[in-house]
């Protein structure tokens, strides 16, 4: 028997990207454009996942997986729904003040789970709308409407209403209790939020807001690597899925002589180094098996394994190297680091594919797996559901690595450029 030749890097990536893209084909409601948060039956829509979907359709067109007409129809359906949906203080409205609730009923599009009016998730939705607005540039009625609706939805957002006293953005709002106060201190995935919030021509965030937020940053030397720390890997990826941070610098990064792209590369190396050190002796961790991020886990329970108590978690914001960590690896987060550290990400994927074949189902990377957890049968514990956020960030980050498509689209979005400049970014493509 002749052994099948190993896949080329491009074939490997193409397979993962296509499988990720198919999530948005499979979990889409054609009547309103909403996309399910996870693959679980009955799951609501997540507005952030819809944002990833809107950009993924464009990738699909470029890759030949979807016709431009189909992508335009999906984009327009989505934009029409969000543009015309209930924006009010009603507890089951779709949004308020231009923002949208985090989770919506897949059919009615109304708020579910008493979820919050989410600034970051609205931002990711808007990012998807912005890319669609730039991409669909033809003078057809359909594409003109896409551009106009995307612009109108963006302009409708009242960022000033959502600003706290110090100028920084609140994290969310609920009709039952007002603004949420999670106390986000330090670096997070919020950079894109400030880019869009500051770039608004109607009701933008204050110019001082970004400085107030970055005043909480901490530049750390960990494992002899100097960078702006954040524990979960996804934090170093989400803003980059849309914005090209190569060589553009805000005042903080100018002070440190780095940029956010380089920072994400260093964060990736720190994650890998953490796995190599494997301080808590989790099964599987190593130079080619890393990626600690927010996501699913085996469950909230404590087990004694090999004479040692192991406390496992369910869905949690895991991070490295500070923790929390329960031995759960996120392959999708590892591969989403592809643009920053391609050799590391590819090596990790090949290792996981070879050593943990049960992890990759129908060519798709799961949210997480945990080889430390004593599984019932052969193989590791693997998260059962596919998560839209994972698949979305994979589609975008693989595409940015392969062609830079999304970065080139957002570079042509005047609002994002304006927002970055107001935040103090200079250099690179902003010059």
Q: Which range touches another protein (CB under 8 A), out of 141-149, 316-324, 327-335, 341-349?
A: 316-324
Q: Which range touches another protein (CB under 8 A), out of 57-65, 146-154, 179-187, 201-209?
A: 179-187
Q: Under the criterion CB under 8 A, does residue 374 sit at the interface with another protein?
A: no
DSSP string of 98-147, one letter each residue: TEEBSEE-TTT--B-TT--EEHHHHHHHHHHHHHHHHH--SSSHHHHHHH
**Quick one: which of 321, 342, 427, 428 contacts another protein (CB under 8 A)?**
321
Q: Under the criterion CB under 8 A, does residue 254 sit at the interface with another protein?
A: no
Strands 178-180 and 172-174: antiparallel
The nearer residue to another protein, 25 or 222, going by C-beta atoms, is: 222
**Quick one: which of 30, 42, 177, 378 contacts another protein (CB under 8 A)?**
177
Q: Under the criterion CB under 8 A, does residue 4 sit at the interface with another protein?
A: no
Considering the complex, what minimum distance in angstroms separates the CB of residue 239 from another protein?
Answer: 19
Q: Under the criterion CB under 8 A, does residue 112 sit at the interface with another protein?
A: no
The nearer residue to another protein, 26 or 220, going by C-beta atoms, is: 220
Whether the CB-CB separation of 188 and 195 falls below 8 Å is answered with no
The contacts found for 418-421 with CB under 8 angstroms, 24 or more apart, are 418/198, 418/199, 418/201, 419/194, 419/195, 419/196, 419/197, 419/198, 419/199, 419/200, 419/204, 420/195, 420/198, 420/199, 420/243, 420/248
CA dihedral over 123, 227, 325, 333, signed as positive or negative: positive
Q: Which range touches another protein (CB under 8 A), out of 224-232, 240-248, 288-296, 358-366?
A: 224-232
Considering the complex, what minimum distance in angstroms separates the CB of residue 304 from another protein?
Answer: 7
Which candidate, 322, 256, 319, 324, places its Cα nearest to that of 293? 319
Q: Under the criterion CB under 8 A, does residue 226 sit at the interface with another protein?
A: yes
Q: Which range touches another protein (CB under 8 A), out of 40-48, 157-165, 172-180, 391-399?
A: 172-180
The nearer residue to another protein, 116 or 386, going by C-beta atoms, is: 116
Q: Under the criterion CB under 8 A, does residue 174 sit at the interface with another protein?
A: yes
Q: Under the criterion CB under 8 A, does residue 141 sit at the interface with another protein?
A: no
Q: Which helix (H) or strand (E) holds 304?
A: strand 301-305
Q: Under the criterion CB under 8 A, does residue 224 sit at the interface with another protein?
A: yes
Q: Which range touches another protein (CB under 8 A), out of 76-84, 276-284, 352-360, 413-421?
A: 276-284
Q: Which range touches another protein (CB under 8 A), out of 154-162, 277-285, 328-336, 423-431?
A: 277-285
Provide the 10 A C-beta neighbour count for residue 115.
Answer: 18
The nearer residue to another protein, 215 or 287, going by C-beta atoms, is: 215
DSSP string of 67-107, one letter each residue: -HHHHHHHHHHHHHHHHHS-BSS-TT-SEETTEEBSEE-TT
Residue that is written with structure tokens 């250099």 in the block: 427
CA distance 109 to 101: 10
Upstream peptide bond of 324 is cis (omega within 30 degrees of 0): yes
Strands 308-312 and 316-317: unpaired
Considering the complex, what minimum distance in angstroms separates the CB of residue 167 from another protein?
Answer: 13
The nearer residue to another protein, 326 or 386, going by C-beta atoms, is: 326
Q: Under the criterion CB under 8 A, does residue 90 sit at the interface with another protein?
A: no
Which residues contribute to the site for another protein (CB under 8 A)? 114, 116, 174-178, 180-183, 185-186, 215-222, 224, 226, 229, 255, 277, 279-280, 304, 307-309, 311, 321-324
């Amino acid at each position: 028997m002749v052994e099948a030749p190993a896949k080329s890097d491009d074939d490997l990536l193409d397979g993962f990207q296509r499988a990720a893209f198919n999530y948005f084909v499979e979990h889409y409601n054609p009547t309103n454009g909403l996309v399910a948060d996870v693959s679980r039956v009955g799951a609501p829509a997540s507005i952030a996942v819809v944002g990833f979907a809107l950009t993924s359709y464009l990738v699909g067109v470029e890759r030949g997986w979807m016709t431009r007409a189909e992508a335009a129809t999906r984009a327009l359906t989505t934009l029409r729904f969000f543009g015309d949906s209930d924006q009010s203080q009603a507890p089951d409205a779709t949004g308020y003040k231009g923002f949208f609730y985090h989770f919506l009923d897949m059919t009615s599009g109304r708020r579910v789970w008493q979820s919050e009016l989410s600034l970051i998730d609205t931002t990711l939705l808007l990012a998807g709308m912005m890319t669609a607005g730039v991409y669909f540039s033809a003078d057809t009625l359909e594409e003109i409407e896409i551009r106009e609706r995307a612009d109108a939805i963006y302009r409708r957002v009242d960022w000033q209403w959502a600003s706290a006293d110090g100028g920084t953005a609140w994290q969310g709002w609920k009709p039952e209790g007002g603004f949420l106060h999670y106390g986000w201190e330090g670096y997070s995935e919020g950079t894109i939020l400030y880019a869009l919030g500051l770039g608004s021509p109607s009701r933008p965030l204050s110019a001082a807001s970004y400085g107030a937020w970055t005043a909480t940053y901490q530049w750390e030397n960990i494992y002899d690597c100097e960078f702006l720390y954040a524990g979960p890997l996804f934090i170093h990826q989400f803003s980059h899925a849309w914005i090209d941070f190569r060589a553009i610098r805000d005042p903080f990064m100018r002070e440190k002589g780095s940029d956010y792209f380089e920072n994400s590369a260093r964060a990736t190396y720190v994650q890998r180094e953490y796995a190599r050190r494997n301080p808590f002796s989790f099964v599987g961790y190593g130079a080619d098996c890393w990626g600690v991020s927010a996501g699913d886990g085996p469950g909230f329970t404590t087990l004694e394994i090999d004479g040692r108590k192991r406390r496992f978690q369910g869905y949690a914001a895991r991070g490295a190297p500070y923790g929390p960590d329960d031995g759960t690896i996120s392959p999708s987060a590892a591969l989403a680091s592809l643009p920053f550290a391609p050799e590391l990400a590819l090596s990790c994927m090949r290792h996981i594919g070879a050593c943990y074949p049960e992890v990759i189902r129908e060519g798709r990377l799961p949210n997480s797996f945990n080889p430390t957890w004593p599984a019932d049968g052969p193989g590791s514990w693997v998260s059962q559901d596919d998560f839209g956020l994972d698949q979305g960030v994979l589609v975008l980050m693989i595409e940015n690595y392969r062609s830079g498509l999304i970065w080139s689209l957002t570079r042509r979005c005047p609002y994002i450029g304006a927002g970055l400049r107001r935040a103090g970014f200079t250099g690179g493509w902003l010059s």
